[in-house]
Structure 1
């Protein structure tokens, strides 16, 4: 279901102030009462870059300054309203939560959500959904700056041993492995990387920190003990480091990214594309909608706006710490969840 909504009041207000909506990035939900053509929910990992992209991708059905995409954050209130009438839904927090919300919307036929943000690929074989790569991310183990583990050169085998409860001490510290909240795509990705079940992790692995709080993905403030270790998106870390420019809330706290197999996570302020733990991140669409003009123009194929190196959308991708994916725009990866 496509809903064209003219945002006349917003556009007139911008004109009165002598500014355009393009080039004024929004790093949170659209303003209350403002609705757009394509609605996306889900991943915390890619919410900020998607918000930035939304600020520069215009809706050609209206004026060049009119935004096409409404990107709703993973956190920020229990519910969101995505259309002028109805469509008040629970806010999805994470990739799996966003995909589930999209599937529920498709089943109900309500047209409240158009696609999902995901930092993981499909879990279940099928062709109902297509996972379209948009950028390359990498994930590093993070520890506190005051931890004896800071500066330790982790190996992938060592990380697997830590999360499988076979290695219990690193640099003299009894290590405490953490994973993000249920519904997080990074939780799934990291669990696959270290060889554990994200739904039933080993007894030494927790998504609750030392203060009893849920571990939100890419929030270094969750690391409250010198023994803590958790996965952290390198792109998110860079975007938070550059918060003055990106507008992303700096949630790093005392967390510092660590090397893996002797490879630094960040080089020259940019993600090291050679980092050994890397992944595509995706936008997830109902497969039957891929031929729709706006979806095809912006998201699919090598000539898509999100894959064109000369586009403002790609500039946003780099600004928020992501690298180019060689698979950008491909429509080959399908699944039912």
Structure 2
């Protein structure tokens, strides 16, 4: 059977865990309260939603009012980012957030989205949007610790091995039938991971389940499950900084390099490291059309976001130093 059409019990359980954990989770885990319309509204990446939600609680203006309203990747079908005329479909993932931002820029009757959270870089060259880096992440792969895949000592895979697994040319490991998983379409983690394997969407094998929400370890519910996973999200979940849905999984090494340091923080020397971004309309940070709030919030290493280093590291990410807030990366989507 082609598993891409299969509904995974783990994904349902994970969604239930999120719902049940909502009351106990940190305040940064949810959309702004109904009617809390802040100056800058952002949507997009699942990977960075929690840290940007947390930044929304600490980034304030001169009147001590919160500036950033960050809306989760999943939840209600629609969200309202402004008091009027801004009821929009909720974007799930980096690409969906960037697409929604680009559409908002193109529609001169709308001003509903100010930035998109993204865990991937540009796909198409251009100048309409600017990718502003604010933290360092990495992507490893997760397996169940109670599986022979892990217990037999296969706690390291190479890029070549992972490529074969996701092309379905390697279907077993340590005697276990593999069931490789990929995040949903539009996920920045999905795009980044496939790029590192040298694969396009069209080259992903038919054995791969491509329906799971990213960074949900509970979805790995059989012995052969393997999935890409944000290292920062894994850290934040395992430490209880966010709702813990890493389940019975553990991150493994890739090409002989561990994703975590000995003190369980992000290994910035890991094989698959990446910057994560807040994407803004270029017109809002340059020339006569620049928006002073957007610039002060995101642009430069002294910006409000880049200065919130303790919040960034508390959510498992690494800091970028003087590279934080750079405005050199531009694209269309």
TM more than 0.5: yes
Deviations along 1:187-244, one digit per CA (max 9) or x if unpaired, are: 111111112223662223221xxxxxx300000111121111100000001111122x
Moved over 3 A (4+): none
Instruction: Give the structure 2 partner of residue 169 of structure 1.
Output: 172
Equivalent residue in structure 1 for 2:313, among 294, 318, 327: 318
Query: Quick check: 1:139–1:278 contact (8 Å CA) kept in 2?
Result: yes
Q: Give the 5 Å matches for 1:257-296.
A: 257-267=251-261, 268-290=263-285, 291-296=290-295
Q: Give the 5 Å matches for 1:131-150.
A: 131-150=131-150
Question: 3-state SS of the aligned residue for 1:73?
Answer: coil
Equivalent residue in structure 1 for 2:228, among 231, 255, 268: 231
Distance of 1:260 and 1:103 partners within structure 2:
35
Instruction: Give the structure 1 partner of residue 247 of structure 2.
Output: 253
Instruction: Give the structure 1 partner of residue 55 of structure 2.
Output: 53
Distance of 2:29 and 2:165 partners within structure 1:
35
Distance of 1:314 and 1:25 partners within structure 2:
18
Deviation at 1:59, TM superposition (A): 2.3
Structure 1, unmatched stretches of 5+, are: 1-23, 208-213
Does 2:218 match 1:215?
no
Distance of 1:301 and 1:198 partners within structure 2:
34
Which structure shows the higher helix fraction?
A: 2
Instruction: Give the structure 2 partner of residue 77 of structure 1.
Output: 76
Superposed CA RMSD in Å reads 1.5
* Structure number with higher relative contact order (C-alpha < 8 Å, ≥ 6 residues apart): 2
Query: Quick check: 1:164–1:195 contact (8 Å CA) kept in 2?
Result: no
User: Aligned in 2, Cα 1:56/1:128: closer, same or farther, shift over 3 Å?
Assistant: same
Query: Quick check: 2:28–2:51 contact (8 Å CA) kept in 1?
Result: no
Distance of 1:187 and 1:227 partners within structure 2:
19
Equivalent residue in structure 1 for 2:328, among 315, 332, 336: 332
Distance of 2:117 and 2:123 partners within structure 1:
15
Deviation at 1:102, TM superposition (A): 0.6
Query: Quick check: 2:167–2:203 contact (8 Å CA) kept in 1?
Result: no
Instruction: Give the structure 1 partner of residue 14 of structure 2.
Output: none
Question: 3-state SS of the aligned residue for 2:148?
Answer: coil
Distance of 1:294 and 1:242 partners within structure 2:
33
Task: Count matched residues.
Answer: 298
Question: 3-state SS of the aligned residue for 1:70?
Answer: strand
